[in-house]
Structure 1
Amino acid sequence: MHDIAFIRANPEAFDAALARRGAEPAAGRIIELDAKRREASTKVQQAQSRRNEASKAIGQAMGQGDKDKAEALKAEVAEIKASMPEWEEAERAAGAELEDLLARLPNMPAADVPDGADEADNVEIHQWGKKRNFNFEPKEHADLGPALGMDFETGAKLSGARFTFLRGNMARLHRALAQFMLDKQTMENGYTECNPPVLVNDDAMYGTDKLPKFAEDSFRTTDGRWLIPTSEVSLTASVADTILGDLADPIRMTAHTLCFRSEAGAAGRDTRGFIRQHQFEKVELVTICRPEDSEAEHERMTKCAESILEALDLPYRRVLLCTGDMGFGARKTYDLEVWLPGQGAWREISSCSNTGDFQARRMNARYRPEGEKKTAFVHTLNGSGLAVGRTLVAVLENYQQQDGSVTIPPVLQNYMIGIERLEPQA
């Protein structure tokens, strides 16, 4: 959500920011609706005030025996009551249209976000690690995985496309990755482990900018709840309608959950393999902090995600997303892309975003700066630390051997009860 006061004071700057995101100018309509809403609100308040004054005066007139004055006042009160619904409806209608318009406009990009149309205009910040040299042609995980327990056929039989059934040590390796990520983020990187619901209400989805624009990208239950597309929703919405303390120490939360996405906007992409599933698991990172701390927290969060890839010795690169490729609610986003030798390509494995106060305004999440009576909106950040399934894919492709086996990264072997290799099954 956007700051109306900022838009009123800076309409040209606001429209220029929207233009960078590929959106049409909206400041004029926003200011017009805001003026209508405020005018109607003023009329309602004035009418209520006059009605109360007249009602009180009726009693005084009756007490003084002035029936004519009392009757005139009664007529005025009746007229006010008759006119108020019109102004109340005008206030409601303008407010609803204004809120709907604001809810559908993307966040304004930070000044250092590069302009661009799509991923081709993203900017690489740095690379880490060395790509492995294979003395054989490395396979993609979709070809390598079935013999190791990545059962695409059973997943499709049970649930349809974009579902996978993991078996045996493949399932154990998937679980080991999630446990390793959680341990590292909590024991080394200072995040508090949480176990939030994966079913949430409309308010949680709206507050984290998933509604109304992206309803088709999520699954909804018959009783009106939503299956979370990421635990960013549950974790961030936990501070909705809350006034926090001074936030000298940022709130840092992490969770390993199931996530669900309809992939409505990705039809035809990654239909083969384990990259883009309707049901998947992710270790999410969320930070709630003061505005002056959010830029540093964004860098910190991205490094925490990078630390998982470095511990697994998986080559990756950090990319700063351009305005055309950035998510709806983000003001600045870093993607981490891991190298997949089977595909011969960099693929996204984490996205770390600073949303500023965009989500906080939608969910009314505030804090009280030390020594001040007035509250302010918090800043919220979210990132993957990491996507578990995509990390499994990266391990399979980077640690594969010529005989079709996959060695287990050293940092995971304690989680694998001594298993050092996934072996193909006949």
Structure 2
Amino acid sequence: MAVAGVATTGALVPAGSASAATIVTADAGAADAATSTIAANSSSIVADGTSTSTVTVTVRDASGTPVAAGGDLVAMKATHGTLSSVTDHGDGTYTAVLTAGTVAQPTSISFTVNGVAGGSKASVEFVPGPPVLANAQIFAFPDTAQADGTEAVVVVVNVRDANGNRVDVGDDLAFTTTLGRQVDLTHNKKGTYQADFVSTVAGVGTVGFTVAGKASPVTTQVTFLGGAADAAGSTIMSSADAIPADGTSTADITVAVKDAHGNAVRAGGDDVTMQTTAGTLSAVTDHGDGTYTATLSAPSTAGSATVGFTVNGTSSAATATVDFTPVPDAGGGTTNGGAGTTSTSGTVKAAAVGARVNTGGTTAATGSMAGTAGFLALTALGAGMLGMLVARRKPRRSE
């Protein structure tokens, strides 16, 4: 292999003869693109549109010996980013400056020497910049699940830099949520994080994340729905605790269907029936939102009603109680006591002192003398006693 440089050669001569020496200079041959080389001083730069790497082509001859002079026509081309014009340094090296683009990706730089493609290429990686939390992307798919503690919503976060490139932040990312709990986390090492969330409480929650303890302003919402109707967890209530026992007054009875975790079922379609021990119930109305109502009409007899219900054929232990109160009559008393009793709220006028008054099935004793007959009897008694007193005080005649 020929190497550029200087060599000395000599030959044996007879004694007494002058010695001879020949100086031979071996110069590099013509530039050869196939053996010429290319390299970048920085193999990784930030994809921010400003970072740079200097790319150098060293021209060599066919034997790989660097050509020590300039003058060759060298051109470079990059698959991404921007290359400056090529500078000939006059010593067989040629440089250009590669400026990064704003997209994180690998870049390949090729070259030609005197129009012939070089035999090698240089590579520079455009890498993401630091994370910008406001640029992150977060979404849930699916974003709705049953609130049964098993079915999950899936939340994905893509951490990005100022130019939208995904940034890997390692274990510094943590999810946050206002509803449910995280049960799984995966990380693809390229800035994408995925977590599963479950809940036994129905409602809408907000899921976000932090990086190194700093919260991102971007969040997403997830929804957990109530599960299947459960009679044991469902509730019943009345719009009134008591109504008059007048045969016309009413109270609305409402059943709220809930799941096994106590979450409201927000849809209709369940088979709900109601039963009462007194009064009359109308047909049940399904409002399509998990609530069902019936109207309880009062009887004409005082008492109380216990209203129960079933959901899809299963009885609930929950009940609602409504009292039917007596209705006052025109004289201030009440006219509709229960069987065997008549409630009274007015004043009973006694016929005589110590008389007993029948109040509709129950005989009530009274000691009142406020009745008319009692008053007259007392008046007569008083008059007699007064007469006796006057007779005693009459003066005697003198004898």
* TM-score normalized with structure 1 length: 0.16
More strand by share: 2
Max radius of gyration: which structure?
2
More helix by share: 1
* TM-score normalized with structure 2 length: 0.17
